[in-house]
Amino acid sequence: MARTDKSTLDYGAELKKLRQEGPRQVYILRGDEDYLRDSYLAELKRLCLPEGTEAFNHHRLQGPELDLGALVQSVEAMPFMGERTLTEVRDFDVNRTSAYDPEALRRFLEDVPEWATVAFVFSPGYAPDNRLAAVKAMKKAGADLAFSSPGEAALVRWVIRRAEDLGKTIDARTASYLIWVCGDRMNALIPEILKIAGYAGDKAITKADIDAVAKKTPETTIFNLTDALGAGEYDKAARLLADLLADKDEPPQRQLAMVSEQFRRLYVARVGADSGLGAAYITACVPELAGRSYPLQLLQRACKRFPAERLARAVSMCAQCDRAMKDTGGEPEALMKELLLHLAMDRS
């Protein structure tokens, strides 16, 4: 499956446009931020299906293989007790053209009735292949909306509002820390905020509350692991590696890739610091940190624990470990532990 792109969508502007101009006939709703995607879809439903009409005019179809006949039938059905219909198509694998007739899909999209809206809703991690004629036809027929994280500043405000809804307060810096610890996926943050708010004894949520009960992302654990190595806290680094390897949602190969990427980021930040270059240099080399002031500040502080030469050697050690996993068939977890030992022994 193709990955979603990284372009930033102005959610507020798109929502305003929808309310002012009304529903279009075709939508592609995709992207990694499924909370915003579902919120937009809920507003689309509200506009297409006034109260009391959903049972008659809301049609649902499920992929990955799509019966075009069923799609045409549902879209061409006249609205009953309302002015519009909404056909919601979930996870249609449009990239698998062998499962449907692309030309038939193109003809259908060019002739969607004016009373109908069809929304192709894709799960995070999936994006239509822009090279395909069918995908071009989908985008030509309607609105292609790729929902991504709203950015750190907007996300911090959202976290503060969620905490207030639960009768708690959280300051902006602590909210930034929560996002760094738990990730920036809004649907993943909701249960964490609920859990932390329930744990916090005082009205104010603190960093200690987050550390006590929040589920940390692998990226956060890896940052703490490399930071422990830089501080010479090798027992702590070993415990963090054990925590990392205990996470069966991420295979060791993927974990190694993230460790390697973290050392690469640290090396970039250290070179930038040694050369008198600022944050702009780091974000140019590591564009995913653009607009994320909190992790950028942490990286700039953490890189000072390592000489640049040690970080360069760490990146090389990670590459050697990766080759060992791929070429020798070594046991991945044992190789990760061996890598930690080599990283800890390199103290120059």
Q: What own/partner pairs with CB < 8 Å and gap ≥ 24 does 230-237 have?
A: 230/302, 230/305, 230/306, 231/305, 232/347, 234/344, 237/340, 237/344
Q: Distance from first CA to last CA of the chain, Å, rounded?
A: 43
Between 330 and 347, name the one with better pLDDT: 347
Render pLDDT for 194-220 as a digit per residue (tens, 0 to 9): 999 999 987 899 999 999 999 999 999
pLDDT of residue 7: 55
pLDDT exceeds 80 at position 6: no
Mean pLDDT, to the nearest integer, of 48-70? 91
How would CATH label the architecture of 218-345?
Answer: Up-down Bundle (1.20)
Query: Which residues, other chains included, contact 71 with Cβ-Cβ below 8 Å and sequence gap of 6+?
Result: 61, 87, 89, 108, 118
Amino acid occupying residue 157:
R
Distance CA 3, CA 31 (A): 9
Task: Note the pLDDT tens digit of each residue in 79-117.
Answer: 999 999 999 999 999 999 888 899 999 999 999 999 999
Architecture of domain 11-146: 3-Layer(aba) Sandwich (3.40)
Q: What is the pLDDT of residues 238-280, one digit of tens each?
A: 999 999 999 888 899 999 999 999 999 999 999 999 999 989 9
Instruction: State residue 279 phi and psi, 5-degree precision.
Output: -65, -30
Mean pLDDT rounded to a whole number for the chain? 92
More confident residue, 247 or 157: 157
pLDDT band, residue 4 (cuts 50/70/90)? very low
**Alpha carbon 55 to chain centroid, angstroms:** 33
Query: Which long-range contacts (C-beta less than 8 Å, at least 24 apart) are formed by 113-116?
Result: 113/25, 113/75, 113/76, 114/25, 115/78, 115/79, 115/83, 115/84, 115/85, 116/25, 116/75, 116/76, 116/84, 116/85, 116/86, 116/87
d(CA 101, CA 72): 13
Q: In whole angstroms, how large is the CA radius of gyration of the chain?
A: 24
Contacts (Cβ under 8 Å, ≥6 apart) of 85: 48, 57, 58, 59, 74, 75, 77, 78, 79, 115, 116, 117
Rounded to whole angstroms, the Cα distance separating 201 from 203 reads 7
Which fold does the domain 152-213 belong to in CATH?
Helicase, Ruva Protein; domain 3 (1.10.8)
Average pLDDT over residues 119-136: 92
Extents of the domains making up the chain:
11-146, 152-213, 218-345
Q: What is the pLDDT of residue 284?
A: 95
pLDDT, one tens digit per residue, over 226-241 is: 999 999 999 999 999 9
Q: For a pLDDT cut of 90, what percent of the chain falls above it?
A: 82
